[in-house]
Amino acid sequence: MIFIRRCAAVAALAVAVATTASAQQDSRLTLIRDDATREVVRQQLGGALSRGVPVEPMMAKALEGVAKRASSKSIKAAMTRLEENWHRAAKALAPNPTDDELSAGADALQQNVPESALRALRKQAPGRSIALEIGVLTQLVARNVEPGQASKMVLELMARKATGTQLTALSSAVQEDVEAGLAPAMALDLRGRGIMSLLPPPSAVSTLNPRSTPRP
Amino acid sequence: MDLERDETIERVAQALAVVPPRDAQAVSRVMAAVRAHKAQRPSRLTLVMEWMRQPAFSVASAGALAAAALVLGFFSRGAFGNAGSDQSARSTLEGQPTGEFPIVTGGVLPASNSHEVRAVPVPLVFDARNAKSVVVVGDFNGWDDTKTPMVRYGTDGPWTATVLAKPGRHVYAFLVDGTTLVADPRAPRAKDLDFGGDASVLMVTPP
């Protein structure tokens, strides 16, 4: 019995040490050739992990900065922002967000999508991944659609059980319209109406198919 | 009925019915002893520290503990540290996967796998006739420039690769000759508020 207890204690210690140490000894750190940047990233990773943010998105942000030849100062600032946005996304997408949703949520917040919009999306679909919907909303806002209008449209389409293909089609169509010179608000309204004309109203969806499973 | 009235039994019953007087001093002595014992009892922390300090390891148990720690340390390092994202990518054409499929990592913040979605393959094509090498970097492969090298189609054709990305919005770019980051001319530009620079947006639809 004593032996088992000691084993458990040593194992827990090993896991804790390895988890923290691994963040600071990730082999991908060697991809960062600049010593100062590598040290900054190492410290940021260790700190973020201790505060509950996984290594992967933080490391990806660092390597993105390296690929774009950003300074160590810029990379540090970007990693700090990501960590803050990750925590904000975790609150907005509670109670059980996936890492994909958190990544998408942090990206959305970075693009100035409000937390209230994320909360509304989660409320609309509490039992399935909404990473795609968050991505569509983010892209609409990135194309200068006003966040309130964009989130209202995405929520409306979700309520009518729009498919993932329809949602991404909306994003692409608005993108093309804006590039062609149409005002973002008008492009979203036109394209959104077009897709909604193919879908039943929300009340019909809930009445006709009350136990329908969420869209995959 | 008389047989049931046993004289002996009645005497015993009378004797037992008398409650002996309580010795107040004895009671106070017992209570004082209990309190003293409770006060001397070491805390849980002390017990744990003593337990950890006890040099009672046999050679076999010490060896087993060391092995267990090494194994657990090794696996946890693999799981938390050197893994890529849960999406990966690989070059195609000629059927030669060159990327790796890393271990899926878990977040420490509340995360549930109950509604995880699967990644789908997305082919990418890039024209760069004079390039010596082209690599795809993006959030689907953790911006790791060793994971998704593109393959030239024929001797003078475009560069191609297929990435695995989950449904949603992704940002990516092509790294040409290991030095120049180029946006995909076939895709919308990404507005990067962190670093600026060239990148593209990939909207992935569920299968």
What CATH number is associated with residue B174? Answer: 2.60.40.10
For chain B, percent of residues with pLDDT exceeding 70: 57
The C-alpha angle B168, B169, B172, rounded to 5 degrees, equals: 130
Q: Looking at the predicted structure, is the pLDDT value of residue B93 above 90?
A: no
* Residue B152 placed within a domain: yes
> Is B63 in the A-facing interface, judged by CB distances under 8 Å?
no
| pLDDT tier at B60, thresholds 50, 70, 90 | low
Distance of CA A154 to the CA centre of its chain: 16
Q: Looking at the predicted structure, is the pLDDT value of residue B169 above 60?
A: yes
Q: How far is A203 from chain B (nearest CA, A)?
A: 25
Q: Which residues contact B74 (CB under 8 A, 6 or more apart)?
A: A18
**Could you report the per-residue pLDDT of A159-173, keeping only the tens digit for each?**
999 999 999 999 999
Instruction: Check residue B72 and give its pLDDT.
Output: 54
Q: Which residue has the higher pLDDT, A209 or A94?
A: A94
Instruction: Check residue A136 and give its pLDDT.
Output: 98
Q: Looking at the predicted structure, is the pLDDT value of residue A157 above 70?
A: yes
The CB-side HSE value for B154 (13 A sphere, CA atoms) comes to: 6
Chain-chain contact of B168 with A90 (C-beta, under 8 angstroms): no
Q: How far is B24 from chain A (nearest CA, A)?
A: 43
**The tokens of A152 are what?**
């209202």
Number of other residues whose CB lies within 10 A of the CB of residue B37: 9
Instruction: Check residue B14 and give its pLDDT.
Output: 79
Asked if A155 and A134 count as a contact pair (C-beta separation under 8 A), the reply is no
Instruction: Check residue B190 and give its pLDDT.
Output: 93
- Average pLDDT over chain A, rounded to whole? 89
The domain total for chain B is 1
Helix ranges restricted to H, A51-163:
55-67, 72-92, 99-110, 115-124, 131-142, 147-159
Chain-chain contact of B105 with A99 (C-beta, under 8 angstroms): yes
Residues of chain B with Cβ-Cβ distance to A22 below 8 Å are 76-77, 80-82
Q: Is the peptide bond before A95 cis (omega within 30 degrees of 0)?
A: yes
Q: Using CA atoms, how far apart are residues A104 and A115, in angstroms rounded to an integer?
A: 12
* Residue B176 placed within a domain: yes
Which range is least confidently modeled, A150-159, A189-198, B107-116, B188-197?
B107-116
Instruction: Check residue B191 and give its pLDDT.
Output: 87
Which of A3, A10, A49, A100 to mutate to probe the B interface, most B CBs <10 Å?
A100
> Is B67 in the A-facing interface, judged by CB distances under 8 Å?
no
The interface residues of chain B toward chain A in range 180-199, judged by CB-CB distance below 8 A, are 181, 188, 190-197, 199
**Could you report the per-residue pLDDT of A112-136, keeping only the tens digit for each?**
999 999 999 999 999 999 999 999 9
- Average pLDDT over chain B, rounded to whole? 73
For A23, name the nearest residue in chain B, comparing CA atoms only. Answer: B81
> What CA–CA distances, in Å, run from A52 to A10, A58, A93, B99?
22, 12, 16, 29
Distance of CA A6 to the CA centre of its chain: 41
Name the pairing type of β-strands B134-138 and B120-126.
unpaired
* Residue B133 placed within a domain: yes
What's the whole-number mean pLDDT along residues B121-131? 96
Burial environment of residue B189 by CB neighbours within 10 A (0 to 12, 13 to 18, 19 or more): middle
Per DSSP, what are the bridge partners of residue B124?
Answer: B161
Q: Which residue has the higher pLDDT, B44 or B69?
A: B44
| pLDDT tier at B77, thresholds 50, 70, 90 | very low
- Look at residue B160 and give its three-state secondary structure: strand
Q: Which residue has the higher pLDDT, A184 or B87?
A: A184
Q: How far is B166 from chain A (nearest CA, A)?
A: 8
- Look at residue A71 and give its three-state secondary structure: coil
The C-alpha angle A38, A40, A41, rounded to 5 degrees, equals: 65
Backbone conformation region of residue A52, classed left if phi is above 0, alpha if psi is from -120 to 50, else beta: left
Instruction: Check residue A7 and give its pLDDT.
Output: 59
Chain A and chain B share a number of CB contacts under 8 A equal to 212
* Residue B179 placed within a domain: yes
* Residue B85 placed within a domain: no
What's the whole-number mean pLDDT along residues B122-147? 96
What's the whole-number mean pLDDT along residues B31-51? 67
Q: Using CA atoms, how far apart are residues A154 and B71, in angstroms rounded to an integer?
A: 48
Asked if B135 and B148 count as a contact pair (C-beta separation under 8 A), the reply is yes
Q: Which residue has the higher pLDDT, B111 or B144?
A: B144
* Residue B54 placed within a domain: no
Q: Looking at the predicted structure, is the pLDDT value of residue A83 above 50?
A: yes
Q: Using CA atoms, how far apart are residues B172 and B140, in angstroms rounded to an integer?
A: 8
pTM here is 0.69
Q: Looking at the predicted structure, is the pLDDT value of residue A42 above 70?
A: yes
* Residue range of the domain that includes B166: 116-204
> Is B97 in the A-facing interface, judged by CB distances under 8 Å?
no
Q: Looking at the predicted structure, is the pLDDT value of residue B54 above 80?
A: no
Q: Looking at the predicted structure, is the pLDDT value of residue B73 above 60?
A: no
Chain-chain contact of A95 with B137 (C-beta, under 8 angstroms): no
